[in-house]
Amino acid sequence: MRLTGADRPALAALIEEAFPSTTSRPGDPGVVDWYGIRDGDRLLAGGADRSRGDIGFLAGLTVAPGHRGRGLGAALTAGMTRALFGRYDAVALGVYPDNVGAIRLYRRLGFTAAERRTSIKLA
């Protein structure tokens, strides 16, 4: 489901708990939209739509640590991919090369092409 401005505090808390190294944050002007999965009032998974030009782009996908391994990452990724394919001809995502579990998941969902990138953070 698409998240709203009211979800920002829960999203920020999820990111801090589950993926503090991500560069996708609530309020980031490069993020087009946020998607998430809730269980009642608790946000269990979230991801950013960083689409640009004619490419849909998923970023910052994360699942709360206590809820990993239950299919939430797959459901979030598949749902976001479907939503972006409704607006774009191509959808891509980024993943750290040491995140073997995520790479396996993304391949299982049909993300097959890979292009290695290097980035640095400037002070």
* 28-84 pLDDT tens trace: 999 999 999 999 989 999 999 999 999 999 999 999 999 999 999 999 999 999 999
Residue 122 lies in a domain: no
Residue 117 scores a pLDDT above 70: no
pTM exceeds 0.85, yes or no: yes
Question: Which distant-in-sequence residues (6+ apart) come within 8 Å of 54 by Cβ?
Answer: 88, 89, 90
Q: What is the pLDDT of residue 80?
A: 96
Long-range contacts of 74-80 (CB under 8 A, 24+ apart): 74/105, 74/108, 74/109, 75/37, 75/45, 76/35, 76/36, 76/37, 76/45, 76/46, 76/47, 77/47, 77/105, 77/106, 77/109, 78/109, 79/1, 79/35, 80/35, 80/47, 80/49
Answer whether residue 121 is part of any domain: no
Total structural domains within the chain: 1
Give me the percent of the chain exceeding a pLDDT of 70: 91
Inside any domain, residue 120: no
CA–CA gap between residue 22 and residue 61 (Å, rounded): 9
Residue 24 lies in a domain: yes
Residue 117 lies in a domain: no
Q: Is 116 contained in some domain?
A: no
Instruction: Report pLDDT for 94.
Output: 84
**Structural domain span for residue 36:** 5-108
Residue 118 has pLDDT above 60, yes or no: no
User: Residue 85: its pLDDT value, please?
Assistant: 95
Q: What is the CATH number of the domain that holds 82?
A: 3.40.630.30
Evaluate whether residue 118 is within a structural domain: no
Mean residue pLDDT of the chain comes to 91
What does the pLDDT read at residue 43? 97
75 domain-assigned: yes
